[in-house]
Amino acid sequence: MRVVAVVGPTATGKSDLALDLAEALGTDAAPAEIVNADAYQLYRGMDVGTAKVPPAERRGIAHHQLDVLDPVQDASVARYQEAARADLDAIAGRGARAVVVGGSGLYVRALLDQMDFPGTDPQVRARLEARAETEGRRALHAELERLDPQAAESIGPHNTRRIVRALEVIELTGRPYTANLPRQEYVRPAVQIGLDCSRDVLDARVAARVDRMWDAGLVDEVRVLASPEQGGTGPGLGVTAARAVGYAEVLAWWRGELTEQEARDAVVANTRRLARKQMGWFGRDPRVRWLDAASPRLLDEALAVVAAADDGTLPEAGRMSDDAPVRRSLGS
C-alpha cells in the first residue's frame, strides 16, 4: 500500500493533517498508523518544544518513532532509517496504510528514497580532523575539490565537519562523495503532500506557537532535561538535542548570553528561519504535491492527491489541476 507523507515547514499543521488522513484512510480491519519523521520528536521528554502531539490527542492512532531516544544521545539518520523502514514493513504486513509526517528533510529522504550510508572509520576521521587543525580547512577543501568538485561546491570551504566527512567517505568507498548522496527514487510506492502558506500567515503561526509553548512550560521542560552544568536539574541534553530551536535559546539565556525576552524573541526568529530552510529543502523536490495549509478543504484536497496517486492518475508536476496551488515561495 502506498505510503503517504505529509511534509513542509514547521507550524503549517502537518501533525493535524496526518491525524485526519490516518483516520480517513484507515479501516476497522486495518487502521492507518503514523510514522514520525521529525528528528527532535525522537527524543523522550522533548515534548513542548517540538510540538509533539500528546498521547491523549493521538485519537487512538498508533505512532512510531516517537520517544525512542534519551536527550543525551545523538540522533543518527542511519539508525532512524533502519528502524523507521522496519516500522513501514510491519505496517504493510498488517495490511495498513502508513502516514509519515515530519519536517526533517533528510529523515524523510532517508526513509522514503534510495539512500545509502557509508560506514565510518575513527582512525581515518581522526587523521583528517588533525589535518584540518594543522593544514586548515581550506587545504582539505582544495583536496575535496580535486577529488569531487560537485561535493566541494555544494559543501563550501567553511564547513569543516562536512568536508572531513566527504573525504572520509571517498577514502573508504573509493567513489566520489556525491555518488553516495540520496536519489529521488522511492524505495516503495509513496506520495508526498506538502503544506505551504504565505510568509505573513506562517510568521503569525510561528509567533502564536512560541507563545503557546512558553505558556505550556517550555522553560520548565528544558530545566527538567538539562544537566546542572547546563542550568537545569536533569541528566543533560546531548549535542544534538541542545541545538534544537527552543532549547538552545533557553540554554543561552541561562548562560547569561540573552535575557528571557531576548531568548523568546530568538525562538521566534529561529523558528521562522527553520521554516524557510525546510521550505527550501522540500521545495527542491518536484514530487511533492503542494497544498494551501489554510484551505478550509485541506483534508478533501489531500485525500484527492492520495486517490489520484493510488489509481495512477496523479500528474507528474506538483499540481493537481489548473486551479490548484503549486508550491509558492514563502516570500510570495
In this predicted model, what pLDDT tens digit does every residue of 216-243 receive, in sequence order?
999 999 999 999 999 999 999 999 999 9
Q: What are the grid coordinates assigned to 322, written together?
A: 489548473
> What's the pLDDT tens digit per position in 14-29?
999 999 999 999 999 9
User: Any idea where the domains of the chain sit in the sequence?
Assistant: 122-180, 201-278
- Give the pLDDT confidence score for residue 186 in this predicted structure: 96
Of residues 86, 97, 112, 101, the one with CA closest to residue 22: 97
- Give the pLDDT confidence score for residue 218 in this predicted structure: 98
122-180 and 201-278 in the same fold: no
- Give the pLDDT confidence score for residue 328 in this predicted structure: 46
Confidence check: pLDDT of 49 > 70: yes
Distance CA 250, CA 258 (A): 9
The architecture in CATH of the region 201-278 reads Orthogonal Bundle (1.10)
What is the pTM assigned to this prediction?
A: 0.86
Q: How many residues does the chain have?
A: 332
Q: Do residues 112 and 80 make contact, with C-beta atoms less than 8 angstroms apart? A: no
Residue matched to cell numbers 488522513: 21
- Mean pLDDT, the chain, as a whole number? 93
For the domain made up of 122-180, give the CATH fold: Histone, subunit A (1.10.20)
Of residues 322, 320, 299, the one with CA closest to residue 308: 320
33-36 and 98-101 beta bridge pairing:
parallel
Confidence check: pLDDT of 327 > 60: no
| Residues annotated in a binding site for ATP | 8-15
Q: What's the pLDDT band for 179 if we cut at 50, 70, 90?
A: confident
∠182-39-214 over CA atoms, to 5°?
Answer: 145
Q: Do residues 88 and 3 make contact, with C-beta atoms less than 8 angstroms apart? A: yes
Confidence check: pLDDT of 1 > 80: yes
- Give the pLDDT confidence score for residue 318 in this predicted structure: 47
| Residues annotated in a binding site for substrate | 10-15
| Residues annotated in a binding site | 8-15
Q: What are the grid coordinates assigned to 168, written together?
A: 572520509
- Give the pLDDT confidence score for residue 317 in this predicted structure: 54
Strand runs (DSSP E) across the chain, as ranges? 3-7, 33-36, 63-64, 98-101, 113-114, 183-186, 190-196, 288-292
